[in-house]
Amino acid sequence: MMSVIATLPGFENPLLWILGVPLGSAGFLVVLKSWRTATWVNVGASAVTFLSSLALLEHRPAATRLLFIDDFNVYLVVLTSFVGLTTAVFSAAYIARESEAQRLSDLHLRFYHSMYQAFLFTMLLALTANNTGVMWVAVEAATLTTVLMVSLYRTREAIEAAWKYFILCSVGIGLALFGTTLVYLAAQPVMGDGADAMAWTLLVKRAHDFQPDLLNLAFVFVLVGYGTKVGLAPLHSWLPDAHAEGPTPISAVLSGLLLNVALYALLRFKMLMSANPHTLTPGPLMIMMGLSSLFLAAFMLYRRGDIKRLFAYSSIEHMGVITFAFGMGGALANFAGLMHMTMHSLTKSAIFFAVGIISQNAGTKRIADIRGLTSSHPVLGWGFVLAVLAIAGLPPMGVFMSEFLVLSSTFARAPLLAIPLALGLLLAFGALVSRLQMMAFGEPPPQQHGHGEASAVSNILALTPLWVHMLLVLVAGLYLPRELVAWFQAVARVLG
């Protein structure tokens, strides 16, 4: 199928479709008068973007000074467009029920779909940019589009969360810009002026000649700057508010996609550090931030009373584990980090799909008021149970396999680091399982003041992405296709 897509007219350069479709759709959705039409345009545009991304697996266009595809970003582009499509399908059901409950006006509904496509464009541009400056602009644009969507409900809490998100992430992105500038200054004596000193494909080949002191200073700013967007402690405080107050589909793509994009940017700079033998080793800094994020999130999980904040802290936990893995470095730890990125994206977005329906049905996000899901809504309830057990790291799910690889590689190389890592994972597991037991089992509340029962079509649209994601996570825990293993191995070698 992928080879057929690659030979279709106009698919000679799939990047034009991958970037052009969401950008053009964002503009088109602004002028549409019907929000219902906008819903399906959003789904259709996301489907075209995903199909276009599949063509990259067979045909990679030649790199330019602005855009490129390599082993590292090709699979992240496919993953991002896939989760973007499933979230768009979920949005069709979720946003329709928000309209029925009169929580959003027609203008806000059309605006949501337009900003959704703009958000996809900015993430895909950041992943495919061959220019450090363009990548920075794309990540900043992703911040601006999601700020607008976080504040969509226009409540005091939503606007406060959006401002907090905007201010903290803008400070972080400002630091990342300074780090990016320092990398340019380190490369300029070797690469010359202009775009060559900002192109990833050229920088990594000559990084061993760059001035190491400037690279060291640059990486510190980049780690703090992009680490803010990743949600690493102690730079994480924007993330729980943004997840809790924005529309649930945005929580799904924030956790499942945007955090990956920010970490991708950080890892690109880490590759430059690894290519220069005279720079400091970035691993210890990443390990420290990864462990601090894991432990902060693990303890905070026990005290959350809001279901969306609960899983926002779970995202901080898992980004800490991924950052720890890449900080350890080496073939196996990098392999585990890449697998965990993929499994977390699929599982966490599935959890937010379930959380969105649960909160609409119950009319509340309070964990204490959500009980008996497996009795009141069996398909939804058991899907939620499966997703939470998966993100908690229970076998045979893919998250268990990636966490097991992180632990085993750490035990082999640094046993003293493996002990706090295992302890943090156990603490988080205990918190999630205890909260799951409260929500999934027991007697449902006698009366719920939600949006009413959804139609059969709405239920199918909402639940299908959840179960598709969980099926993929289950299959990945049992069997990884050879092509995916080969990609993980190739990228793990490059990351150092």
Confidence of residue 461 (pLDDT cuts 50, 70, 90): confident
Closest CA to 317 of 253, 399, 242: 399
Q: Across the chain, what does the average pLDDT equal?
A: 89
Confidence of residue 66 (pLDDT cuts 50, 70, 90): very high
Question: Between these two residues, 223 and 303, which has the higher pLDDT value?
Answer: 223
For residue 142, give both structure tokens.
Answer: 């992703």
What pLDDT is attached to residue 496?
A: 74
What pLDDT is attached to residue 35?
A: 78
| pLDDT over 70 percentage in the chain | 94
pLDDT above 80 for 293: yes
pTM above 0.85, yes or no: yes
pLDDT above 80 for 428: yes
Of the given ranges (14-28, 280-294, 305-319, 431-445), which has the lowest mean pLDDT? Answer: 431-445
What pLDDT is attached to residue 30?
A: 87
pLDDT above 60 for 112: yes
| pLDDT tens-digit readout, 126-177 | 999 999 999 999 999 999 999 988 888 888 888 998 899 999 988 999 999 9
pLDDT above 90 for 450: no
Instruction: State which of 57-71, 137-151, 335-349 shows the largest mean pLDDT.
Output: 335-349
| pLDDT tens-digit readout, 385-400 | 999 999 999 999 999 9
